[in-house]
Structure 1
Amino acid sequence: MLDTVSEIFDAAAAKYLTAVDAAPSKNSTQHEVGGLVRAGMGKLLGVGPETFRYSTTYAYLPSHSDVDDFPPVICEAESSWYDCRRDDPARSPEYRLYYDENEVTQQIREGDLLVVAKNRNGSLALIFTPRGSPAEAQLRHLFGLQDLTRSLKPASLPEQSMILPLRLLLEEIGIKPFREKDVDDDLEMLLERFPEGLPKTDVLSGLARDLTGIDSRDDADLALLAWLDREELLFRAYEKHLVAHRLREGFGADGLDVDAFVSFSLSVHNRRKSRMGHSLENHLTTVFEQHGLTFERGKGTLYTEGRQQPDWIFPSFSAYHDSNFPIERLTLLGAKTTCKDRWRQVLAEGDRLEKKYLATLEAGISERQTDQMQEKKLQLVVPGRIHSTYSDSQKTWLYTISDFIEDAFKKSS
């Protein structure tokens, strides 16, 4: 697995879009980006009278909405890098990056963040997102972007290990945060162990924990992310094998049924999201077991009021329903890999409890949303390494996994 962003990209730069950046002139459908030479990317992109053409991934990462499934807009096209003064030898060179209008650029607006990144495989990535969005916080942390203005500023490309949410962000826009060899090595092992097909999530979760050899009693936050990272790599290895086989079969009678392909693609996307959610629950359950907490998972006939089913009740659902059991000794925890506005669902999962907890892997949630969580007495629980994507004021309120375990123990004693 690729560990740092600098193993994927040679260089990157970012800025907030001006009105001219966001909308091409009336006489052109072409956008342009200037300032990449000053941002230190000129020599990487090319110097000379010729036009340098790059395969380019364009991505627009929208702000979260009330809609759960609000995916990024992605397209693959080209961009051109050349000296726009090359026909005037009396003037010094002025290099610009040009690209045509596409489904991504149709989304962008003045003030949006633009990240231009040069991939080590020779391609480019142009990533856009609204200012103040969770994706902006994630991109700024990933690339090491500070003091941004409307002029391109170079990225520092931090050397620290990429956290799982940022790996998933890159993968969502088509940039692989892993080495193909790692995937191939895992696939050989998985096919030997599970020749009948992809195992159930709890089985794959257990294998990931065994392979890492990490005990959460040493560091619950570190262990959780390490287990999830390892399981994600295992899952993607087997998924690649299954998807490749399905693509070779084709779709429909003639193998070219577009609707059937789109349906298959959506099923792959939904399976990824579902498995990640189950993986988080599986690994958190193991963390709680290793720490000796008493709890029950919400499944089967275990409900609170109105047939609500929180992910965990500490110490048990029967204690929750016992009117004589002290409320202060009860703890309710939900888990969601990403929050969006779905965090409000947890509020209705236990009427007896005023304060509830929500564990998530989401990086850089907006202060507006975390302020609302605090007002509703919902405590957000985020693995420690992901705290760095939040603002300083948010960090004083956020819980780590270890913080939650400590709270749960105090309440049960």
Structure 2
Amino acid sequence: MKRLAAVEINPSLSNQHEFNAGRLRRELGLTGNPCRGRIDFLFYLGDDQTPVTETERYTLYDSRLNKPRAAEWRMYYTNLGVSEHARANDLMLLFRPDPSSTDLVAVIACRGTAIERALSLDLARREPEDLVGMLFADSQSLNPQTIGVLLQVLRRPEPQVDLREHDFARHPLLLRSAARGAMPTTAEMAAAAQAIVSETGVTPEDPDDFLDSSLDAETGLFTAIELELGNRKLAAIPEEHRLDFDVLRSFFMSFLQSRRARRGQSLENHFRYLLESRRIPHAYQCRTEGGKTPDFIFPSCESYHDPAFPDDHLRMVGCKTKVRERHSQWLDEATRIRLKFALCVDDRLTDALLLRYEDRLRFFLPRRLLDTTYAARESRPLLGSVGDLIAEVASI
């Protein structure tokens, strides 16, 4: 993070438009001479304005190569948009989001803006007026809070569908459930949630957002229906039973058990909808060895049981919102398939678990969860998005 100098951005003062890059090269972990890549610039010119974006190329090189003096590293950039949008003393945060790539991101915040103040306070831990010259943050020491700030600056993850204003209490499915005095089936719940999300403009073409938003919509609708039916049944208890602890405990346990049973099947329903919307061949609850029934087999149950069908063209996907000990069950299902796939929305997967099973069980989660929970984790390269999973099963 540094204050921009006039000679770095103003073509009338210097034609070099480059940064001194010795320590910058070390801190970003860049190698090679020269090292080349892309810089995505985000210019925050004022509060409540969408950032202006520019993409430029850079070359990091030793300007004293083959000379007797010590190396002097410089980062040359193409300067197409920087001189137009940046000014001297603007704050620049330069970082490398992906250690497997030389591409960089540069956030340039105009002096005096709220984003400049947020970057100064959250990342440098000092007031903007005290931030002078150049500071470096070793990427190995960034904590989850700092990673969150960086993701927020980049506007990642993309905002989810805002369902807070949706009137679940007036949804037709709630009215039908209230009339018959029973919770709807999981299939009915999933279909209603998918319709709510589709009305917002999110489609299966964006499988991560669609699945994530559908789960949220179903939760909102389920909660509204549960509240309506629960209040009715609770009001009827004094008429049917003597009101005591055992009666209330049984009442609440019945609702809790219903919640637990539905969440896992909810994920299966939404994933199944994504597969059907893309016409991806699959078998749901196919019976394999020992009477086991994996959630999904690709491309079909018949293919799995055909000895002539090649093993490396078979796929298996298990669905579970929270993994817990389910991983051992997945490993025992569909023995013809060595590498199993698991779709979940679990924010507590440990690095130890992912590393232990990396060659036998691969996990996929909605991108929002990957970006907010696992972005800074050692195991992040072992995780895939819902879109990645769709691509895997569609490619066979």
Residue 270 of structure 1: how far off its partner (Å): 1.3
Give SS of 1:234's match.
helix
Shift of 1:393: 2.2
Q: Which amino acid aligns with 1:340?
A: R
Instruction: State the shift of 1:278 in Å.
Output: 1.4
Q: After the TM superposition, which residues 331-346 of structure 1 pair with which residues of structure 2 at under 5 Å, given as runs?
A: 331-346=315-330
Q: Which residue number corresponds to residue 206 of structure 1?
A: 191
**Partner SS for 1:340:** coil
CA deviations over 1:284-305 (Å, ceiling 9, x no partner): 001011122100100xxx3100
Once the two structures are TM-superposed, the CA of residue 250 in structure 1 deviates from its matched residue by 2.4
CA shift, 1:223, in A, is 0.5
In structure 2, the residue corresponding to 1:269 is in which secondary structure?
helix
Deviation at 1:203, TM superposition (A): 1.2
Structure 2 equivalent of residue 271 of structure 1:
258
Query: Which of 336, 346, 352 is equivalent to 1:362?
Result: 346
Unaligned runs of 5+ in 1: 1-143, 148-154, 164-176
Q: 1:386 aligns with which of 369, 372, 376?
A: 369
Deviation at 1:255, TM superposition (A): 3.3
Runs of 4+ in 1 over 6 A off after TM superposition: 158-163
Deviation at 1:182, TM superposition (A): 5.0
Match for 1:219: what amino acid? D
Q: Which moved more, 1:387-396 or 1:315-324?
A: 387-396
Please say if residues 216 and 290 of structure 1, whose CA atoms lie closer than 8 Å, have aligned partners that are also in contact.
no
Aligned-residue offset at 1:188? 5.5
How many residue pairs end up in the alignment?
245
SS of aligned partner of 1:278: helix
Superimposed CA distance per residue, residues 228-284 of structure 1 (whole angstroms, 9 cap, x where no aligned partner): 111111111010011111211226965322112112211211111111111111110
Residue 246 to residue 193, structure 1, CA distance change in 2 (3 Å)? closer
1:8-407 to structure 2, matched below 5 A, reads 146=145, 185-187=168-170, 189-194=172-177, 195-196=179-180, 197-213=182-198, 214=201, 216-250=203-237, 255-298=242-285, 302-374=286-358, 377-387=360-370, 388-390=372-374, 391-407=376-392
Q: Secondary structure at the match of 1:255?
A: coil
CA offset digits 1:176-196 (Å, max 9, x no partner)? x996x856x534643444432
CA contact (8 A) 1:251 1:258 kept: no
Distance between the aligned counterparts of 1:332 and 1:291, measured in 2? 18
**RMSD, aligned α-carbons:** 3.3
Equivalent residue, structure 2, for 1:56: none
Structure 2 length normalisation: TM-score? 0.56
Deviation at 1:309, TM superposition (A): 0.3
> Which amino acid in the other structure matches residue 197 of structure 2?
T
Q: Which has the larger radius of gyration?
A: 2
CA contact (8 A) 1:333 1:358 kept: yes
Cα separation, 2, equivalents of 1:356 and 1:399: 13
Identity of aligned residues (%): 28
Q: Provide closer, same or farther for how the CA distance between residues 295 and 251 of structure 1 changes in structure 2, counting only shifts above 3 A.
A: farther
TM-score normalised per structure 1: 0.53
Secondary structure, aligned partner of 1:396: helix
Query: CA–CA distance in 2 between the matches of 1:409 and 1:145?
Result: 34
The secondary structure found in structure 1 opposite 2:280 is coil
**Distance (whole Å) between structure 1 residues aligned to residue 195 and residue 240 of structure 2:** 44
| In 2: Cα distance, 1:384 partner to 1:303 partner | 31
For the 8 Å contact 2:296–2:318, the answer to whether it is kept is yes
Q: Distance in 1 between matches of 2:241 and 2:169?
A: 33
